[in-house]
Structure 1
Amino acid sequence: MDAELTALAAAGATALVQQMVTEGWAQARDRVARFFSRDSGGDEDVLVGELEEARAEVVAAHDAGDSETTADVRTEWRSRLRRRLAADPAAAAELRALLDELAPDTDAGVPQGGGTYNHISGGVIHGTVIQAGSVGQLNTGDGRRP
């Protein structure tokens, strides 16, 4: 397999694992299942189940701070993508299109959307928690300005 397809498989696996902890997971899961089942005779429902199992592992690993398990899942899906591309090099165009959907290009370095995953732990939070792509002027309602 040439280096370009190997890199494409790695990028696909990375994007897939990143999507597993986002709100857009269901859409990504369905697109990836279609990608694997199309022209390969795979059962899409079985693939959805396998993707959900992988997601459960990644979410649990994320919550536990276990980067090794996340890397293992990424490696597994990279291998599966490599095998799919080796069996059908024409699938590379479809995988590129899928990657464009999962991680759209940015305009001037500002992401145009995407999923968010929040996890706050370590006790009770007594202050304001804010997550945003960018924050201009912020007023928390307590009369102070940041």
Structure 2
Amino acid sequence: MEPEIAALASSAGTTVVTLMATDAWQRVREGIASLWRRGHAERVEAVAAELDATREDLLAALAAGDQGVEGELQVEWQGRIRRLLAARPEVAEDLRTLLNEFDPLAGTAPSITQHATASNHARIYQAGRDQHISER
């Protein structure tokens, strides 16, 4: 598989699961189901049900304070989307369009650069996404 398709699937899985807990959820759900309709019409209802089940799992985990579940679900959907793109590469452009509705950078691989300088007894905490700090 082309690295570009793998990167797109990775971005899509992360974006889809992240948006499950937002007001944008119904639009995302419809968009993902539409991709399967084009690629595997016989699986649309099953995929829609899987999206709903994933959302329920995510919301329950977030309510319980279980931060690890979101990452697991993202990896799961990255794999599903990667397999769809491998079987039907023609849906990649529609996926990019869908992702761009919610995040103009989602269809690309943005470059992030962070710089920090600490002196004396200073501490620096940097994160490109989520950051969790706990005292030991």
What's the TM-score once normalised by structure 1's chain length? 0.66
Task: Establish whether residue 60 from structure 1 lines up as the match of residue 45 from structure 2.
Answer: no
Partners of 2:42 and 2:51 lie apart in 1 by 13
Gaps of 5+ in 1: 106-146
Gaps of 5+ in 2: 106-136
What's the TM-score once normalised by structure 2's chain length? 0.71
2:18 corresponding residue in structure 1: 18
2:129 corresponding residue in structure 1: none
Supply the AA of the counterpart residue of 2:33: A
**Residues 72 and 88 of structure 1: CA distance in aligned 2, closer, same or farther (over 3 Å):** same
**Residues 2 and 52 of structure 1: CA distance in aligned 2, closer, same or farther (over 3 Å):** same
Tell me, what secondary structure is at the counterpart of 1:66?
Answer: coil
1:76 corresponding residue in structure 2: 76
1:51-100, CA deviations, whole angstroms, 9 ceiling, x for partnerless residues? 11000011111122212211111111000011011112222111111111
2:121 corresponding residue in structure 1: none
Task: State the identity as a percent.
Answer: 35
1:5-62, CA deviations, whole angstroms, 9 ceiling, x for partnerless residues? 1110010011101110001211111111111221322343322211110000111111
Tell me, what secondary structure is at the counterpart of 2:23?
Answer: coil
Supply the AA of the counterpart residue of 2:69: T
Compute the RMSD of aligned alpha carbons: 1.4
Counting matched residue pairs gives 105
